[in-house]
């Protein structure tokens, strides 16, 4: 489980529509908007295709509370193939790290088809790990996770605060590039997920904003990947 980038803190909360409205408006006044968001709404669409091993080790490690674990995914934005990223998110205790590399659509389709041929010659440590996992542990695509993200940034401690909305799962489909992919919400009440990421410490005034507007929210071990596999039968 090599970690190639610095470890960061990550907090996750379920929040209500009213908490989202108040906090997002407060953040919009003091933080920078994510340049990837639209000018009008500061939103963009994320679609991730998650991979797991033949025995669902990523899913079970999360559900069983394994301290150190990896998750592999391919991610696109706004349902476009202009930027495709292969990513590995690593959890080390309470800290996180993410490795990411842009890959072409041809390689993406090859990996979705379960073919790692050629990756044995790559210089990318991340893609070498993908090759190893696909070869030794039958890493393969398992579920599509869709949502709309609204993000705010601050350069101090590389703070990144995101609201993930309209979470939907593609159920048994792994058709990453299908814009009309049938999806379903895994939630009953349209929950919103607030995520707060930072390096060493959260600036006090940002912590104060969170305490003011989402003081009842509890930091939770939320996994969109696990949530979107809730309809599967593993018996």
Record the pTM.
0.94
What does pLDDT average to over the chain? 93
Residue scoring higher pLDDT (235 or 10)? 10
Q: 3: pLDDT confidence band, cut at 50, 70 and 90?
A: very low
**pLDDT tens digits, 123-142:** 999 999 999 999 999 999 99
**pLDDT tens digits, 78-127:** 999 999 999 999 999 889 999 999 999 999 999 999 999 999 999 999 99
Q: What is the pLDDT of residue 1?
A: 47
Mean pLDDT confidence for 208-226: 92
Q: Out of 3.20.100.30, 3.30.70.980, 1.10.10.60, 1.20.58.390, which CATH number does the structure's domain 8-227 have? A: 3.20.100.30
pLDDT at 4 over 60: no
158 is written with which tokens? Answer: 């590389």
Q: What is the pLDDT of residue 234?
A: 56
- Mention every residue, 6+ apart, whose C-beta is less than 8 A from residue 124: 101
Q: What is the pLDDT of residue 185?
A: 95
141 is written with which tokens? Answer: 């695509």
Q: What is the pLDDT of residue 49?
A: 98
Taking CB atoms within 8 Å and a gap of at least 24, the contacts of 125-130 are 125/2, 125/4, 125/99, 126/4, 126/86, 126/87, 126/88, 126/99, 126/100, 126/101, 127/86, 127/101, 127/103, 129/2, 129/88, 130/72, 130/86, 130/88
pLDDT at 39 over 80: yes
Q: 223: pLDDT confidence band, cut at 50, 70 and 90?
A: very high
Burial of 184 (0-12, 13-18, 19+ CB in 10 A): exposed
């Amino acid at each position: 489980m090599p970690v190639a980038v610095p470890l960061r803190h990550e907090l996750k909360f379920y929040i209500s529509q009213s908490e989202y409205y108040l906090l997002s408006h407060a953040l919009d006044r003091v933080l920078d908007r994510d340049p990837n968001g639209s000018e009008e709404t500061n939103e963009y669409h994320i679609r991730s295709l998650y991979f797991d091993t033949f025995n669902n080790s990523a899913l079970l490690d999360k559900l069983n509370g394994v301290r150190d674990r990896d998750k592999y995914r391919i991610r696109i934005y706004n349902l476009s193939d202009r930027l495709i990223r292969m990513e590995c998110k690593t959890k080390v205790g309470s800290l996180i790290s993410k490795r990411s590399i842009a890959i072409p659509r041809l390689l993406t389709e090859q990996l979705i088809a379960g073919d790692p041929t050629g990756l044995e010659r790559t210089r990318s440590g991340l893609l070498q790990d993908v090759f190893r996992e696909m070869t030794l542990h039958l890493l393969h695509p398992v579920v599509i996770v869709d949502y709309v993200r609204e993000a705010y940034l601050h350069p101090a401690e590389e703070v990144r605060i995101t609201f993930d909305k309209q979470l939907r799962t593609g159920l048994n489909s792994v058709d990453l590039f299908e814009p009309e992919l049938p999806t379903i919400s895994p939630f009953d009440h349209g929950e919103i997920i607030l995520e707060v990421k930072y390096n060493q410490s959260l600036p006090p005034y940002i912590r104060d904003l969170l305490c003011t507007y989402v003081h009842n929210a509890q930091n939770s071990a939320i996994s969109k990947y696990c949530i979107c596999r809730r309809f599967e039968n593993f018996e």
